[in-house]
Chain A
């Protein structure tokens, strides 16, 4: 085993344990903090896959914005609502069925895959970021998705405003 395999095993363990804690911990803020640990573990995985840009984006967007929004939303709720309600609602058998189905599906997809710790990400070319930028703007590649992403974000923003207006 070399260093990257050890790091992979450690971060995978971090992801799994903290993800389990996210759904089992009663205290919602703790759940959000464990979620941050999960997301950070995913960032480490991105680094192991030589995707440094994605790793930093993971920290900036998921930890820096989304997870903090979660904590903030929990802080805005009432504490007495949190600790007394049951952790599952009556739909839990359905959810269990769907997740079991998803597990089977994933197992079906990866059944031919050889699992091995020897698989190491191919090293990226030096100017990978430049290539990403070129791909985003060249008409032959992804310029349309790039602009459509903006429209999607616009829709998200309008949705947020609309929800907030309805409350009044």
Chain B
């Protein structure tokens, strides 16, 4: 019975006993068991990644009114495996004038930066790689490595399109990172901790999406931008710069970029679930006690938000670079900071009152901020419409 409550802990203790029984010192045994756990976790993530290829292809097909892969295995479920075999046996070309070391390092860092995120993802109350007390900043730091890898890829390819992709990546980064960090500050204000486990536990009564729906929305938008997915996929821009930064990559190196992108989207979906939707605690009610149910809950939320991100990707066309910068600096950043200030003051005033009053105040404050934002946008749009529709001076003949 104990096994089903928390299989990982049982296995961990069994391994520790076996290893120390072989005469290893306790510290070394911990390192070895940790290493095994890490490899298992990353391999699990990679397997999930392989299945995400199928999910992505099937869902996009549905959005576009096609069938998608349906030949290899039931519902085309085994489609990713031929894909991988094909990628592996493809010839790997390096363009002339490429900077070999940087060129080869970039795809590795790109996937690694996504894998790093799994170190702090709390899958269940007892199953979390490591519960860092600076978990949220760790998230941003791993994102920085990802950005760096894309810039490295774009620069080292010795290709104009790839270089343009790298420039656009910088534009992308300066646009999303501030709103994203501010959106991360909101759960920190609400829970008083930066540890992702602490944030999940703080949501046992009420999800943060209820306390701060605008914060969740801001984080979703910023996450899509960080992922470089449509409408913020400027650094790829298939129709303009022919997939940009990874234009010169072929074979498995391209495969790593692709795998990184899919897993990144899923992982961020899971983080949205953890930070705003209660993590392992819902929708199945036994997540707190049974580790496997908790894992199912987190992955189910991850899949749902992955689907939302895909839904947005295949619905919205790509944004123009000047629009993106304006959208960020004139709209998202001010809004995020205003929301943070309002959240902080409401939190400080109502934190010692009844929980229902606190929840109500927080929710109403968000609604108020959202409403004022919409009013400002509306009046601005009206002004612009008047300017456009004003009679133009007629040319004199």
Q: Which residues of A contact B (CB under 8 A)?
A: 3, 29-30, 33, 36, 52-53, 56-57, 59-60, 63-65, 67-68, 71-72, 75, 128-129
Contacts and interface: CB of A to CB of B under 8 A. Distances in A.
B148 A75 contact: no
Contacts of A3: 27
B140 A60 contact: yes
Given A53-B137, A59-B141, A75 B132 contact: no
- Give 4 nearest A-B pairs by CB, closest first: A64-B144, A59-B141, A56-B137, A56-B134
Contacts of B177: 64-65
Interface string B288-313: 00000000000000000000000000
A33 B166 contact: no
Most buried by B among A3, A36, A56: A56
Contacts of B173: 68
Contacts of B99: 29-30
Given A56-B137, A60-B140, A29 B155 contact: yes
A129 B133 contact: yes
A64 B140 CA distance: 8
Interface in B110-155: 132-134, 137-138, 140-141, 143-145, 147-148, 151-152, 155
Contacts of A57: 137
Interface of B: 27, 99, 102, 132-134, 137-138, 140-141, 143-145, 147-148, 151-152, 155, 163, 166-167, 170, 173, 177, 194
Contacts of A60: 137, 140-141, 144
Contacts of B133: 52-53, 128-129
Given A52-B134, A60-B137, A75 B166 contact: yes
Contacts of A72: 151, 167, 170
B170 A68 contact: yes
A57 B144 CA distance: 11
A30 B156 CA distance: 10
Contact of A75 (B143, B144, B147, B163): B163
Given A33-B102, A68-B147, 11 more contacts: A56-B134, A60-B140, A60-B141, A63-B141, A64-B148, A64-B177, A65-B177, A67-B148, A72-B170, A75-B163, A129-B194
B134 A129 contact: yes
A75 B137 contact: no
B140 A75 contact: no
A75 B155 contact: yes
B148 A36 contact: yes
Nearest to A74: B155
Contacts of A33: 102, 152
Nearest to A54: B134
A120 to B, nearest CB: 15
A128 B195 CA distance: 13
Nearest to A27: B99
14 contacts: A30-B99, A33-B152, A36-B148, A52-B133, A59-B144, A60-B141, A63-B141, A64-B148, A71-B155, A72-B170, A75-B163, A75-B167, A129-B134, A129-B194
Contacts of A52: 132-134
A125 to B, nearest CB: 11
B104 to A, nearest CB: 13
Most buried by A among B152, B155, B163, B167: B155
B134 A64 contact: no
Contacts of A59: 141, 144-145
Contacts of B137: 53, 56-57, 60
A142 to B, nearest CB: 19
B143 A64 contact: yes
A26 B172 CA distance: 29
A66 to B, nearest CB: 10
Contacts of B163: 75
B155 A56 contact: no
Contacts of A56: 134, 137-138, 141
Contacts of A129: 133-134, 194
A55 to B, nearest CB: 8
Contacts of B102: 29-30, 33
Contacts of B134: 52-53, 56, 129
